[in-house]
Amino acid sequence: MTNSWTDIRNTDLVIIMGGNAAEAHPCGFKWVTEAKANRGAKLIVVDPRYTRSAAVSDMYAPIRPGTDIAFLLGLINYCIQNDKVQWDYTKSFTNAPYLVKEGFAYQDGLFTGYDEAKRDYNRSTWEYEIGPDGFVVADNTLQNPRCVWNLLKQHVAQYTPEMVERICGTPKDKFSKIAVMIGETSAKDKYMTSMYALGWTQHSKGSQNIRTMAMLQLILGNIGVRGGGMNALRGHSNIQGLTDLGLMSNLIPGYLTLPTEKEVSLDTYMSTRGFKPLRPDQMSYWQNYKKFFVSFQKSMWGATATAENSFAYDNLPKLDVPQYDVLRVFELMYQGKMNGYFCQGFNPLLSFPNRKKCTAALSKLKFLVVMDPLDTETARFWENHGDYNNVDTASIQTEVIQLPSTCFAEDEGSTTNSSRWLQWHWAGGTPPGEAKGDIWIMAQLFQRLKALYQKEGGANADPILNLVWDYKDPNDPTAAELAREMNGSVLEDVPDPTDPTKLLLQKGKQMASFATLRDDGKTACGCWIYSGCFNEAGNNMARRDTSDPDNAGVYSKWAFSWPVNRRILYNRASADLTGKAWDPTRKLIEWDGAKWAGYDVPDIVPTAKPDAVGPFIMNPEGTARLFVRGLMRDGPFPVHYEPFESPIANPIAPKIRGNPVARVFKGDMEQFGDAKEFPYAATSYRLTEHFHFWTKHVQVNASLQPEFFVEIGEELAKEKSIKSGGWVRVWSNRGSVRAKVVVTKRIVPLTCDGKKVHIVGIPLHWGFTGVAKKGFGPNSLTPFVGDANIETPEYKAFLVDIEPIVGPVS
Amino acid sequence: MDLPNPNVQNPKVDLSERDVILRSASPVPPPPERKLASVAKLIDVSKCIGCKACQSACLEWNNMREEVGVNVGVYDNPHDLTPNTFTLMRFTEWVNPDSGNLEWLIRKDGCMHCEDPGCLKACPAPGAIVQYSNGIVDFVHENCIGCGYCVKGCPFNIPRISKVDHKAYKCTLCSDRIAVGQGPACAKACPTHCISFGTKEEMLKQAEGRIKDLKSRGYAKAGVYDPPGVRGTHVIYVLHHADKPEIYAGLPNNPRISPLVDLWKGGAKYAGMAVIAITAAFGLLHHVVAGANRVKPEDEENAKKLASPKGRTP
């Protein structure tokens, strides 16, 4: 989230699209009801189904799965055509005035530089015009036809309300009503918040879905303000923490990136991470990259990371592919190239697409280790459960080791929520049986591995042998010890440059924040963005002060919000070029003539003059990007691409199937189904009664939603003679499931490009372990393809067929 | 529009025997020394997202479990109230004829705690149903005879008879929690403040603010459901369509206690009591005429034999 859960109560308009907050985030949704009840805020819901969120909305519109970009570009087009733009904001705080290089163009769904064979672009023309002074050339009058604004205007022009209806199936009058409501938030004192989740990420163009809404929010002036923002609702209590700490295969903590194999030295690694400002006076905060990186290396390898050995740069693995995402990992397993797999706290057999392929992949492993508080389907993938897991156990030779671990309520530590709040919690119970904390388990593994390296030696021993492990009990580091390490500390005294009798940093002290981290090895910090969470003031994550001056919704003394306890990112954008709040009733920070101050920690150097330094300090431009240069693989502007399995050809580019640069492994393309054989558009989702695959192990939850079902509209049910509460078979080109069926008015057929499209909804929570009735998950059906930029699998839009069947004999 | 959330600090009231103002099949007790403030649970249907947190909190607090059932084509699980499920989300898909738009009406069903409780009136077991001076209607299970008359007496079809112990069960309005200053478990669990608890006066005021908000959003017939047919209830609803309560899964438009209960408690009761009185009078007459039964010496002898260890059959 750019903002926080509590800030949602400050909004004028909530749009829930690409998510279903009431259903999947009922506790956070309270802030929407607060905004509605206390501010008179309105709620818009756009979803293929009339959801629980829609049940309390002011405006609902249906949309065909996988067409959100067309809808959103349609909204941008509406705002541009109808002068619903926060002009001062757009001109000063976005890259709208910047000129784009000659040579860049877009035609028929593709940008310049496409290579069909490689399924990739040469992105060299997706760049600004750089002037002789080394800075980007800008036209503040927005007259130049090559400026970002005019290119954007031209790019979105084809997404008329008629085109939106043709692609999305959303009735034009409903789209237009929504456009009017959203357009009103272009006023300087009206804000909209966007709440989204997996409904946007789980597409072959997931990143662009989110980006398109971010662009809309920017031209409306809704980023950095109270009640605005792009608010990703994370699906687990600590999934934000997972990404923050770099648990992606291509990241290290704090969104630093792992080197690639081409980056053989620290110098080559740093050469593409200089982040020289692209406009005069801009902060371009990533210029500090090396300080964060070196401090990370010091926290990992301590005294053995020296300036002479490039701070143990060679200890880091180097990527030979862009990333080892889950799809690639299972592809490698499937090809027999990966022999062992550690599965900690998740359930790939039900979570990854094309379950048949997942089962085949797991069957080729030599060993599988599952660390989980629950008995998961993955740990039991070899067990025959009739139709629900019909495997030939005798033919599977994978050795499976289950390590029972504690659940969140049985251990101490911090979790990072969607609001970026690190909230400390204490153990509420003792773990049952032989269950052990994850930290303990990993410490044991480490100790044994280290002993083996010490005894037997081996390739690349240094990263293990030299790893800093100075915990009080090496067998069981505490959460507090790890948190202090992430916060960082001073390794050597640093004198104050202005007064050599004083110390700037004192050896042995915790870092106050990342602002004083150094690239000379005198500081260590495990995760720079978390610095400040556990400093000399103590464990700031454990703070529980609910004070909130002037009811700003900031709650700055509750827990710790990264970075530096800032609650709203880009908050300098809440004020105009003179430093006054756009909306005086919703002040956040303001310029008092000498410095920035207010309810929140300023997201800018406190003394940076309001008319000089832009609010988007992480970008070398200092502004936000409507045109994203070469930073995304599938285009500097978003384009509507159909899902890989779509009921219609792409109306704007009929020859292009799916996202033209999304990675497709050999053999998976052949497994995509087409609309002739699989006529219905399917989507998957969660239900409020359950939490992923956990709560089917709990009697109360299982009784509230006992049995796997699919949902279809009344018209399709009639056509297929399907009765509500009866049994159906649903199948795709990759698998088949058997389910109860809920026939509902909440799903209606949509007319897309002249064709009637029925939608089949498939919830996710059932499997073959636990106390709920045995069932299937949507991943038996979904395609093995991911987002073009980050490879999140396309779970939200695929094709199926459906027929009524006689149910099993119970 | 700025409507503060209701107070969640409830006074500890130490609810006990002395606060009972009505007791089933018993004479009306004398007015209690203290009169507790009338309480109410407000269920704002327009804020409900149907998450069933109330349902699970109810099961957890009362330490009950519902069996894992089946899906029959709806979201309502279980499919009806049961002796374990005191509260149940009922989902209705309703197309508003005025706008043509679908509305998903989600109503938390359960005991309404009527000011004029039909169950209590119908109950023939002395002290099995009581009403406290704050309005809560509670079942006292040790006195329950499992006859099921309370089900017939309830205009909302709420109580359910357990097949295990043959006693009647329903929502207690968490009288055990309220006694110690806690709100009902469902209200505590509700994430959207759809369920609030407080004095009835506070809740009606709260409802008023909600109705104003709903009217501003085009729900011209928004209103509170506090049906006069049972002299009002201590569980009240805010409905977007208060003129049509029946669209919310059959919420009665004008609930009244069944005339059969009046018949039973009225004419039939007196007729029955007359029969009992006549029988009693006959007994008295018999006593006067035939005298009391007297214990004869041989009776004493037989009793001694029975009571001695030898006299007992092994």
How would you classify the pairing of strands A42-46 and A13-17? parallel
For residue B261, give both structure tokens: 């209960």
Q: Which amino acid is at A69?
A: I
Q: Closest Cα partner for B222 from B248, B203, B240? A: B240
Contact yes or no for A22 and B106 at CB 8 A: no
Length of chain B: 314
At CB < 8 Å, which residues of chain B contact A? 1-3, 46-53, 55-56, 59-60, 65-75, 77-78, 93, 95, 101-106, 191-194, 210, 213, 216-217
Chain B positions touching A33 (Cβ under 8 A) are 47, 192-194
CB atoms within 10 A of CB A798: 31
Contact yes or no for B69 and A703 at CB 8 A: yes
ipTM of model over 0.90 = yes
User: In the 3-class helix/strand/coil scheme, how is A223-283 assigned residue by residue?
Assistant: CCCCCCCEEECCCCCCHHHHHHCCCCCCEECCCEECCECCCCCHHHHHHCCCCCCCCCCCC
Contacts of A266 (CB under 8 A, 6+ apart): A310, A311, A313
Is residue A632 a contact partner of residue A639, using CB atoms and an 8 Å limit?
Answer: no
Cα–Cα distance, B263 to A715 (Å, whole number): 49
Cα–Cα distance, B168 to B24 (Å, whole number): 14
CA A454 to chain centre: 40
A559-607 pLDDT, tens digit per residue, is 999 999 999 999 999 999 999 999 999 999 999 999 999 999 999 999 9
**Confidence label for B1 from pLDDT (cuts 50, 70 and 90):** very low
State the virtual CA torsion across A738, A744, A746, A752 in degrees, nearest 10: 70
Element (H, E) at A15: strand A13-17
CB atoms within 10 A of CB A594: 9
Q: Which amino acid is at B70?
A: V
Contact yes or no for B49 and A700 at CB 8 A: no
Is residue A717 a contact partner of residue A723, using CB atoms and an 8 Å limit?
Answer: yes
Cα–Cα distance, A108 to A365 (Å, whole number): 44
DSSP letters, A612-655, are TS-SBTTSTTBSB-SS-TTSSTT-SS------SS-SS--TT-TT
Nearest residue of A to residue B207 by CA position? A37
Contact yes or no for B50 and A55 at CB 8 A: yes
DSSP letters, A459-490, are TT-HHHHT-----SSTTS--HHHHHHHHH-EE
Contact yes or no for A50 and B102 at CB 8 A: yes
β-bridge mates for residue A60, sequence order = A45
Cα–Cα distance, A616 to A625 (Å, whole number): 9
Give me the residue from A56, A743, A773 closest to B46, CB to CB: A56
Name the region of A662 (left: φ>0; alpha: ψ -120 to 50; beta: rest): beta
Nearest residue of B to residue A33 by CA position? B192
Contact yes or no for B192 and A689 at CB 8 A: no
Chain B positions touching A743 (Cβ under 8 A) are 73
Place of tokens 């940076």: A608
DSSP letters, A99-145, are BBPTT--EETTEETTEETTTTEE--TTSSBPBPTTSSB-B-TTS--T
**Confidence label for B314 from pLDDT (cuts 50, 70 and 90):** very low
Length of chain A: 810
Q: In what order do the strands lie in the sheet with A413-416?
A: A413-416, A421-425, A560-561
Cα–Cα distance, A724 to A740 (Å, whole number): 8
How would you classify the pairing of strands B88-95 and B160-161? unpaired
Interface test with B, best of A27, A36, A56 (most B CBs within 10 A): A56
Cα–Cα distance, A387 to B306 (Å, whole number): 68
pLDDT at B112 over 50: yes
Cα–Cα distance, A105 to A120 (Å, whole number): 16
* The dihedral sign for the CA sequence A770, A774, A779, A780: positive
Chain B positions touching A34 (Cβ under 8 A) are 193
Q: How far is B131 from chain A, CA to nearest CA, in Å?
A: 30
Is residue A519 a contact partner of residue A287, using CB atoms and an 8 Å limit?
Answer: no
User: In the 3-class helix/strand/coil scheme, how is chain B assigned residue by residue?
Assistant: CCCCCCCCCCCCCCCCHHHEEEECCCCCCCCCCCCCCCEEEEEEHHHCCCCCHHHHHHHHHCCCCCCCCCCCCCCCCCCCCCCCCCCEEEEEEEECCCCCCEEEEEEEECCCCECCCHHHHHCCCCCCEEEECCCCEEECHHHCCCCCHHHHHCCCCCCEECCCCCCEECCCCCHHHHCCCCCCHHHHHCCCCCEEEEEHHHHHHHHHHHHHHHHHCCCCCCEEECCHHHCCECEEEEECCCCCHHHCCCCCCCCCCCHHHHHHHCHHHHHHHHHHHHHHHHHHHHHHHHCCCCCCHHHHHHHHHHHCCCCCCC
* The dihedral sign for the CA sequence B180, B185, B187, B189: positive
Contact yes or no for A704 and B77 at CB 8 A: yes
Nearest residue of A to residue B53 by CA position? A689
Cα–Cα distance, B158 to B80 (Å, whole number): 10
Is residue A2 a contact partner of residue A570, using CB atoms and an 8 Å limit?
Answer: yes
CA dist A27 → A31, A236, A306, A407, A497 (Å): 8, 13, 48, 20, 50
3-class SS at A585? helix
Q: What pLDDT is attached to residue B8?
A: 64
What are the 10-residue block averages of pLDDT along chain A, 810 residues in total? 98 98 96 95 98 98 98 98 98 98 96 97 97 97 98 98 98 98 98 98 98 98 98 94 94 97 97 95 97 98 98 97 95 97 95 96 98 97 97 98 95 96 96 95 97 95 97 97 98 94 96 97 98 98 96 97 98 98 98 97 97 96 98 97 98 97 94 97 97 96 98 98 98 97 98 98 97 97 96 97 87
Give me the residue from A22, A699, A724 closest to B49, CB to CB: A22
Chain A positions touching B213 (Cβ under 8 A) are 36-37, 40
pTM: 0.94
Q: Closest Cα partner for A797 from A48, A163, A167, A75? A: A48
CA dist B245 → A52, A91, A701 (Å): 20, 53, 29
**Confidence label for B312 from pLDDT (cuts 50, 70 and 90):** very low
For residue A195, give both structure tokens: 């709440």
Is residue B225 a contact partner of residue B242, using CB atoms and an 8 Å limit?
Answer: yes
Q: What pLDDT is attached to residue B313?
A: 46
Chain A positions touching B210 (Cβ under 8 A) are 37
Q: What is the mean pLDDT of chain B?
A: 91
- The conformation of residue A657, written as its DSSP 8-state character, comes to -
Q: What pLDDT is attached to residue B279?
A: 83
Element (H, E) at A43: strand A42-46
pLDDT at B269 over 80: no
Give me the residue from B1, B73, B193 closest to A724, CB to CB: B73
Contact yes or no for B49 and A39 at CB 8 A: no
Cα–Cα distance, A62 to A75 (Å, whole number): 15
Q: What pLDDT is attached to residue A365?
A: 98
CA A576 to chain centre: 30
Contacts of A775 (CB under 8 A, 6+ apart): A388, A707, A708, A739, A766, A767, A768
Q: What pLDDT is attached to residue B238?
A: 98
Q: Which amino acid is at A164?
A: V
Cα–Cα distance, A191 to A194 (Å, whole number): 10
Chain B positions touching A773 (Cβ under 8 A) are 68, 70
For residues B289-297, average pLDDT: 76
β-bridge mates for residue B137, sequence order = B131
Which of residues B7 and B255 earns the better pLDDT score? Answer: B255
Chain A positions touching B217 (Cβ under 8 A) are 42, 58
For residues B159-185, average pLDDT: 96
For residue A807, give both structure tokens: 């149910």
CA dist B207 → A204, A609, B5, B219, B283 (Å): 46, 49, 11, 14, 58
Alpha helices, H only, A756-801 = none
How would you classify the pairing of strands A499-505 and A421-425? unpaired
Q: Closest Cα partner for B254 from B263, B264, B244, B262? A: B244
Contact yes or no for A26 and B106 at CB 8 A: no
